[in-house]
């Protein structure tokens, strides 16, 4: 039998009953001890029933623990993925902010250069001065684009990390559920075998 997640959730919602069942089985120990023929038989039968009760309790505790561990890991991973997505947005915003500051500063610098040249009687709009100004503007614009590009790369990297982090959390949750299902199947099977053996031996009256 293979549990899908929905059916396993239903089983785990009742897994706490394993502890109650186990405790009830342990309660049979006194009756077994009282009714078994002879001290040696009483001790053997009592220990067998204790073992059955312990198996049942352990099955429920193990299954619930595995499911909770997977869910906890998933919750942490999803939270980290959200933080990474937020950081990705901030990276884009910061890059745009820095690019605009750069553009403003370089524009002011070019204006100051033009004003200084004009004050000294140099013709800014002609020849070498015009080419130098155009080249500087091109370089300034390119640097602004590089700032934005760096932010975009950083943002994309963080988004990729967020996807991987989220997937890792989902995998941890699935692994926890699968482990819980395996524990239930193994534990219930073992408990069933032990119960049938004890019942055949008349341990439960």
Question: Hey, is 204 helix, strand or coil?
Answer: coil
Tokens of 102: 């750069």
Q: Are 203 and 32 in contact (CB under 8 A)?
A: yes
How far is Cα 106 from Cα 116, in angstroms, rounded to an integer?
Answer: 15
Q: Are the CB atoms for 102 and 143 separated by under 8 Å?
A: yes
Residue 197's pLDDT is 64
Nearest residue to 162 (alpha-carbon basis) of 81, 86, 74:
81
Axis crossing angle, helix 17-35 with helix 39-119, rounded to the nearest 10: 160
User: What pTM was estimated for this model as a whole?
Assistant: 0.60
Cα-Cα-Cα-Cα dihedral sign, residues 166, 169, 175, 181: negative
Asked whether residue 175 carries a pLDDT value surpassing 70, the answer given is yes
Q: Tell me: the pLDDT tens digits for 7-31?
A: 555 555 555 555 454 555 445 444 4
199 with 43: CB under 8 angstroms? no
Burial of 46-64, coded b for 16+ CB within 10 Å and e otherwise, reads bebbeebbebbbbbbbbbb
Per the model's pLDDT, the better-predicted residue between 203 and 35 turns out to be 203
- Dig out the tokens for 12 from the structure: 């785990």
Higher pLDDT, 127 or 77: 77
The predicted-structure confidence for 109-144, as pLDDT tens digits, reads as follows: 888 887 877 777 666 666 677 788 888 899 999 999
Dist. CA 154–CA 1, nearest whole Å: 46
Give yes or no for a contact between 159 and 81, defined as CB atoms under 8 angstroms apart.
no
- 8-state DSSP, 122: -
Report the SS3 class of residue 19. Answer: helix
> Which residues are CB-neighbours of 102 under 8 A, at least 6 positions away?
140, 143, 144, 147
- Average pLDDT rounded to a whole number, residues 93-106: 95
């Amino acid at each position: 039998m293979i549990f899908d997640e929905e059916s396993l959730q239903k089983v785990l919602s009742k897994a706490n009953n394993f502890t109650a069942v186990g405790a009830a089985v342990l309660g049979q120990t006194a009756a077994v001890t009282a009714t078994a023929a002879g001290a040696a038989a009483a001790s053997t039968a009592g220990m067998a029933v204790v073992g059955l009760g312990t198996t049942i309790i352990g099955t429920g505790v193990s299954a619930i623990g595995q499911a909770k561990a997977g869910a906890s890991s998933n919750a942490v991973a999803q939270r980290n993925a959200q933080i990474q997505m937020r950081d990705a947005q901030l990276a884009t915003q910061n890059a745009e902010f820095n690019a605009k500051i750069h553009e403003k500063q370089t524009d002011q610098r070019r204006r100051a250069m033009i004003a200084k040249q004009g004050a000294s009687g140099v013709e800014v709009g002609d020849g070498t001065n015009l080419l130098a100004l155009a080249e500087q503007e091109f370089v300034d614009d390119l640097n602004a684009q590089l700032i934005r590009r760096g932010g975009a790369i950083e943002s994309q990297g963080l988004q990729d990390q967020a996807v991987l982090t989220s997937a890792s959390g989902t995998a941890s949750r699935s692994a926890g559920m699968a482990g819980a299902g395996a524990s239930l199947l193994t534990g219930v099977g073992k408990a069933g075998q032990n119960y049938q053996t004890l019942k055949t031996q008349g341990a439960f009256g």
